[in-house]
Amino acid sequence: MLQLRGLLFTMLVPGLVAVYMPHLIIGSRLQQGGLWQTGWLLIALGSAIYSNCLLSFLAANGTPAIFFTHHLRMVIGNEPSALVRGGLYKFSRNPMYLGVVLVTIGQAILYASGPLAAYGITMFLFFHLVVVFIEEPHLKARDPKSFEQYCREVPRWFGLEKKSRAKA
């Protein structure tokens, strides 16, 4: 049942944000040839990152459903009871968001679409604000010591923050 909820979450949230919305933006535009096909590399990388993250959440007995979607738990599940720190979460506190953005930017390249690239950049900025002002305060309130230690050890985005590991 948890895997089904993870699949439903994927279809409803990343599917809407990284597949359906780009489709609306692109419309009937055709894929570009030549080097534009490198967009597939970002789409594949972003999909692999997202899949790895989803599996990490499922292994922690939860789905990526953010805490304020609790009323939808019968459909998309609940967040895990403990902080997810395995898999790619050892290197970034938010790899799933990065995977979704990579899929969108890959599509922007594949279709040579400026509006889709702007959407991808806007999406990243929106995700950043959600992380900073909603998710991180929630996780800190849930388990302050564990989350603060995690923040000291792992950057918010891959390598975009200086790590200051606590001395043992």
Q: Residue 144: what pLDDT?
A: 95
**Axis-axis angle for helices 2-12, 39-59 (nearest 10):** 140
Neighbours of 131 (CB within 10 A): 17
CA separation for the pair 102, 96 (Å, rounded): 10
Is the CB of residue 152 less than 8 Å from the CB of residue 85? no
Q: In this predicted structure, what is the pLDDT of residue 168? A: 40
pLDDT in tens, the chain (168 residues): 888 888 888 988 899 999 999 999 998 888 888 999 999 999 999 999 999 999 999 999 988 887 777 777 777 788 888 999 999 999 999 999 999 999 999 999 999 999 999 999 999 999 999 999 999 999 999 999 999 999 999 999 987 555 454 444
Which CATH class, in words, describes the domain spanning 2-153? mainly alpha
Give the model's pLDDT for residue 161: 56
List the chain domain ranges. 2-153
Q: How far apart are CA 90 and CA 164, in angstroms?
A: 14
- Work out the burial of residue 27: count CB atoms within 10 Å of its CB; fewer than 13 is exposed, 13-18 middle, 19 or more buried: exposed
